[in-house]
Structure 1
Amino acid sequence: MKTGTRTMWVSGAALVISLVALIVSIASGGGGDTPRAAGATPRATHSASPSAPQEPTDAPTDPVTGALESPSSPPPSSTQATGSAKASADAVTCPTPTIMVGDANSLDEALGNAMPGDVIGLADGTYKDKFTAETAGTADRPIWVCGGPGAVIDAGDVEGGYAFHLDGASYWRLVGFTVRNGQKGVMADRVEHSVIQGLTVEHIGDEAIHLRNFSTDNVVRDNTVRDTGLRKPKFGEGVYVGTAESNWCTVSKCKPDHSDRNTVVGNHISATTAESIDIKEGTTGGVVTRNTFDGSDLSGDHNDSWVDVKGNGWTISFNTGSHAREDGFQTHEILKGWGRDNTFKGNVAHVDGPGYGFNLTPVNGNKVACDNKATGAGKGLTNTDCAA
């Protein structure tokens, strides 16, 4: 064979082999990812984690949000996205949806069929029903429900039921959508390492967001909570952690509800008829930081402060409140051994009321740092000596 003819034959063969390889690649699914509809069979690549885990950052001045040394520093923003698969105090950004839903039936189906790694995307619209999630995600493959404020979970009325219930569903991420018209807004029972972030929870019969029944290591951040207590004002808390001792036999098998090490950060809470944040006896080691409270609608005999701490070892830092009926921040010993060793630092209390900025009843090892500030408090900063 002549040299020129041999060269042309080799080049032609190489071209044919390349074309065959390209056709095989396309046929095997190399053409890109497409979200599946609710109920569709997941692709073989579904096990990939939607986001890479990142460890939370530790800091000496605040155990959650980092070196936040001044109450005038801006609060964390949901735009500070990390995509963290762990429930650290960092904000998360939703990955690309693997399942898109647009109505109540498809959302209910998606929640019922959810698997670790699913990212359920909510199209704008109203989802009229009460929804429950019961499947747990995993540390590296959480389950996500993501939507904008125009995606509205509407439970229909404020007299009964939970608008969105995480029932034993750990490692979930609820991000960005709106919840309204339930007796309770978002309820978490026996939930660990989950994130409730950037929701608008409004027009609720009792409390807006509740972590209870041994729900631990969760993050509630950057939510807008308002217009609660429409059924019974005395139950209209913004964020509620744990269970009152009188209900332990109903909720937590007659044991203290150790809903421990939860973080409540960067929330905007207003128009609540009970406390902005209520921390119950039996809970330990949580953090409440960088939240803003408006107590203008507080009502009833006991709903007279923004934050009421009855647990142990909580850190309450860099929050700002206005318009309390009595005191800004309170501790109480409802049960012997509880309501102890909590620390208040860097908070600003615009009380506009007859009490203290910080009222510790009793002191019980609780500490009010001298960098807290109170204005409009009829009795002054605190009922004890501030701590350096």
Structure 2
Amino acid sequence: MRARHIPLALAATLLVLTGAAGCVPPAAPVSAPSCPTGARVVGSSIEDLQRAVDAAAPGDVLRLADTTYAGRLVVSASGSDAAPIVLCGSAQARIDGGDATTGYALHVDGAAHWRIAGFAITGASKGIVADAASDIVFDRLVVEDIGEEGIHLRSGTTDSTVSNSSVRRTGIVTAEYGEGIYVGSAESNWCRYTGCEPDRSDRNRLVGNTVSDTTAEAIDIKEGSSGGVAEANTLTLSDVAVVDSAVDVKGNDWRIAGNRVTSAGIGIEVQQVADGWGGRAVIEGNTIDAAIDAYAIDVAGAARTQGSVIRCDNRTASGAEVRASLACTP
């Protein structure tokens, strides 16, 4: 029997998370609920898990068993605005795709209104991919030992959140594709994913995550994406990375705020790689330690005339003013 009757405390939390579609809520700590008492525990095989997810209906609460699910999971059913579907687990629950050279460990494909929380994901070319999804919360997940990117919101995925999660050891097969958290897709891939139109993966929020040991950017925001927030994350780009910045912003109207960034190269970079993109970023309140010969914040090339703002409250860990390519704005 499905656990469709959500406890009142859980229902209240879900309503807070759901929010109004079409606007960016104020950035603040976000957390999906822990697995509530009475959640339906899924069987211990990946086939059991896939069947449960396929049959899920609005308001269902599914709990992973404390085991390793060997295989890949596809989420394509949808909850509702008032009754999202919850897929949760403990730190002892894991989805292991088994091969870091191919596939997606968790693919959210065209689904809406899910809260996915609390377990680990490993063993695939891409850890989590969300395609054409909306109102998905990925919370308190561990994504590790991935061949390419850890978490990718793509193909017009909107109004979704990655929060309180740990992403580490990405790019172990293909270093240049080893981003930690990746939003949108490059212009060269728009014909593949979005009918040759910009990949408008808009109004997404990246809040309170820890990203480390990536071979590409800790956070990469592509041209085509607008109106998102990256706030209160701890981001480390080591000297083994094959890129030059911990955070790369190529979309429009992104707010990059309150992050702790440690980089062997540039800390935060804003670029224009496609006409009409790479504009109006607001960069404020970050603590950034970059390479001694690199900018902590670099609004580069043509992006310098696109209205981005660097606030004067960005500092190094010692409290010094950061080195930036544009004068700061109080």
Tell me the CA shift for residue 48 of structure 1: 5.8
Q: Which residue is 1:135 aligned to?
A: 77
Q: Which residue is 2:27 aligned to?
A: 65
CA distance in 2 between counterparts of 1:189 and 1:347 reads: 30
**Tell me, which stretches of 5 or more residues in structure 1 are unaligned?**
1-35, 37-41, 67-75, 77-88
SS of the residue 1:381 aligns to: coil
Q: Which residue is 1:337 aligned to?
A: 276
Which one of 37, 47, 51 corresponds to residue 96 of structure 1?
37
Q: Which residue is 2:316 aligned to?
A: 374
Tell me the CA shift for residue 307 of structure 1: 0.5
SS of the residue 2:135 aligns to: coil
Which one of 233, 238, 257 corresponds to residue 291 of structure 1?
233
Q: Which residue is 1:316 aligned to?
A: 256
Which one of 183, 186, 199 corresponds to residue 257 of structure 1?
199
Tell me the CA shift for residue 374 of structure 1: 3.3
Contact 1:321–1:350 at 8 Å: present in 2 too? yes
| 1:297–1:108 Cα change, 3 Å | farther
SS of the residue 1:105 aligns to: helix
Tell me the CA shift for residue 111 of structure 1: 1.3
CA distance in 1 between counterparts of 2:147 and 2:166 reads: 16
Q: Which residue is 1:148 aligned to?
A: 90
Contact 2:106–2:129 at 8 Å: present in 1 too? yes
CA distance in 2 between counterparts of 1:120 and 1:54 reads: 18
| 1:343–1:241 Cα change, 3 Å | same
The code of the aligned residue for 2:284 comes to K
Which one of 217, 222, 244 corresponds to residue 159 of structure 2?
217
The code of the aligned residue for 2:105 comes to A
The code of the aligned residue for 2:37 comes to T
Tell me the CA shift for residue 149 of structure 1: 1.5
Tell me the CA shift for residue 251 of structure 1: 0.7
The code of the aligned residue for 1:64 comes to P
Q: Which residue is 2:212 aligned to?
A: 270
SS of the residue 2:291 aligns to: strand
1:108 aligned onto 2:56: no
Tell me the CA shift for residue 375 of structure 1: 6.2
CA distance in 2 between counterparts of 1:96 and 1:211 reads: 30
SS of the residue 1:371 aligns to: coil
SS of the residue 1:373 aligns to: coil
1:307 aligned onto 2:247: yes
The code of the aligned residue for 1:111 comes to V
The code of the aligned residue for 2:236 comes to D
| 1:91–1:48 Cα change, 3 Å | closer
CA distance in 2 between counterparts of 1:176 and 1:48 reads: 18
CA distance in 1 between counterparts of 2:5 and 2:79 reads: 12
Q: Which residue is 1:201 aligned to?
A: 143
Q: Which residue is 1:51 aligned to?
A: 11
**Tell me, which stretches of 5 or more residues in structure 2 are unaligned?**
none
CA displacement, residues 285-336 of structure 1 (integer Å, 9 cap, x when unaligned): 0000000011115422xx11111000000000000011x2321000110101
The code of the aligned residue for 1:51 comes to A
The code of the aligned residue for 1:340 comes to G
Greater C-alpha radius of gyration: 1
Tell me the CA shift for residue 373 of structure 1: 1.0
The code of the aligned residue for 1:348 comes to T
CA distance in 1 between counterparts of 2:239 and 2:46 reads: 33
SS of the residue 2:189 aligns to: helix
Over the matched positions of the two proteins, sequence identity in percent amounts to: 40
Pick which of 194-203 and 49-58 moved more. Answer: 49-58
Q: Which residue is 1:28 aligned to?
A: none
Superposition pairs of residues 186-197 of structure 1, within 5 angstroms: 186-197=128-139
SS of the residue 2:146 aligns to: coil
Q: TM-score, normalised by structure 2?
A: 0.91
Contact 1:267–1:291 at 8 Å: present in 2 too? yes
CA distance in 1 between counterparts of 2:256 and 2:25 reads: 11
SS of the residue 1:306 aligns to: strand
CA displacement, residues 320-361 of structure 1 (integer Å, 9 cap, x when unaligned): 011x23210001101011000000000010113421110001
CA distance in 2 between counterparts of 1:348 and 1:165 reads: 33
Count of aligned residue pairs for this structure pair: 317
CA distance in 2 between counterparts of 1:179 and 1:351 reads: 30
CA displacement, residues 7-66 of structure 1 (integer Å, 9 cap, x when unaligned): xxxxxxxxxxxxxxxxxxxxxxxxxxxxx4xxxxx48xx3668613544799xxx96335
CA distance in 2 between counterparts of 1:341 and 1:132 reads: 35
